[in-house]
Structure 1
Amino acid sequence: MKRTLLAAFIAIVCISTSQAQVSGGAKAALNIATTVSKDGTHHADARLAPTLGGYLNINLSNGFAFQPELLFSFQGSRWEANGHTYTRNYVYLNVPLMLEYHVGKVFYLEAGPQLGFLAIAKFKDKSDGHVEITDQKGNMNGTVVSLNLGLGLDFNKMHFNLRHCFGLSDIYDHDYYDDPVRNSVYQLGIGYRLF
């Protein structure tokens, strides 16, 4: 499945770039990440963590651009209860496929789906100087789907954006919790165009 998705991603990029102006670069972001559920039992405090990766920007026409990205994203959540500090540490390889609409020369809006491939999942329980870390990867879905919405400012070489990533799929296996738990991530990002 992952190979099929990667092949489809590469095909889309190749077809899109055959007759369009293409640029690319590196980007970094500050994640304000948490987890949410419908019944509220899995809502937690935000966890600050980085995102690092790269992007291609394919200029289409009439102010539109397609921007596929490849990002290592550190996510999860944290909360305190009964003298314990609990932290969910998740690392995803995310593939956002963003459609941008440029309003004027600088401002743009963006939206698009995102596939996330889980690389690391650790749960940390800290209390009275004692730390216990357990691996949660076996209880989690290896692939999650999200929807990104955002806006940004493009200054040619540098661009800045604010994005919200809404998790659409359960991050845990369906039999782990009754109520689906989803990622919710705000990103403050900066990008630098390399070509």
Structure 2
Amino acid sequence: MKPLRLLALLFLLLAGASQAQAQFGIKAGVNNAVLDGQNINMDTDYKTTYHVGAFLRLPILGPLSIQPEVLYSLQGSQFKSTVANYDTKLHYLNIPVLAHVKVGPVYAEAGPQFGVLLGARENGTLRINAADGYGPVDRTADNNYKKNDFALAAGAGLELGSLIIGARYTAGLNNINDVADLNGANDPRLKNRVIQGFIGIKFGK
């Protein structure tokens, strides 16, 4: 878990540098996640998962702030075809760095997000062969997905005192599939899509 320790240290350094002007907070919420793309040859459905993390808000000018975050996010998708029905669970450490604009109790935010894949797993059923029919599958899938994910995030919400209520959409920009077809053509292209709803608590002035 070295990335978590490094990011925690970064947050502490930023908080010290910005002194009392910075606001620190924690947040948690629900993900509605899917893997979308091209040449998948299977149906992909949204899965309800979760995320949890912390943020640091650094004032820049007037209503504008920069808000880096550290989030653990469980993402993935449900895959369905005539021979398979299984879930893919992708465990990410996500680092969004957002421009945050607040006017009264209303805020909007947008910016890039960098993700590091901590682990992947597939579970469900697959067709073994014509004679044996379908069988359960529960396996590690770390080698099937690329380790890095780059996305754009945008959201909005309300701040009621120290309470934050918000929603966000993140769209992956790069193909995270790391499995190539034998002939090298028509490889599946998978991209993360996540709709988030969350609540948070902020501390500081």
State the TM-score, normalized to the length of structure 1: 0.84
Contact preservation (8 Å) 2:75, 2:92:
yes
Cα distance in 2 for residues equivalent to 1:17 and 1:161: 27
CA–CA distance in structure 2, aligned partners of residues 42 and 121 of structure 1: 19
Q: 1:185 matched to which residue of 2?
A: 194
Structure 2 residue runs without a partner (length 5+): 127-132
Deviation above 6 Å: which 4+ runs of structure 1? none
Q: Which amino acid aligns with 1:166?
A: A
> Partners of 1:54 and 1:96 in 2: how far apart?
11
Question: Unpaired runs of 5+ in structure 1?
Answer: none
Q: Who is 2:115 aligned against? A: 116
Q: How many residues align?
A: 189
Partner SS for 1:44: strand
Rate the CA distance shift 1:108–1:40 in 2: closer, same or farther, 3 A.
farther
Equivalent residue letter for 2:150: V
Equivalent residue runs for 1:4-153 within 5 Å: 10=10, 14=14, 17-18=17-18, 21-39=21-39, 41=41, 44-82=44-82, 84-102=84-102, 104-126=103-125, 131-153=136-158
Inter-CA distance 109–41: structure 2 relative to 1 (3 Å threshold): farther
Report if aligned partners of 2:15, 2:22 keep a CA contact under 8 Å in 1.
Answer: no
The percentage of counterpart residues that share the same residue type is 28
C-alpha contact 2:43 2:80 (8 A) present in aligned 1: no
CA contact (8 A) 2:156 2:166 kept: yes
**Partners in 2 of 1:125 and 1:66 — Cα distance?**
41
Q: Confirm whether residue 161 of structure 1 aligns to residue 166 of structure 2.
A: yes
Distance 2:165 2:158 in 1: 5
Max Rg structure: 2
TM-score, with structure 2 as normaliser: 0.80
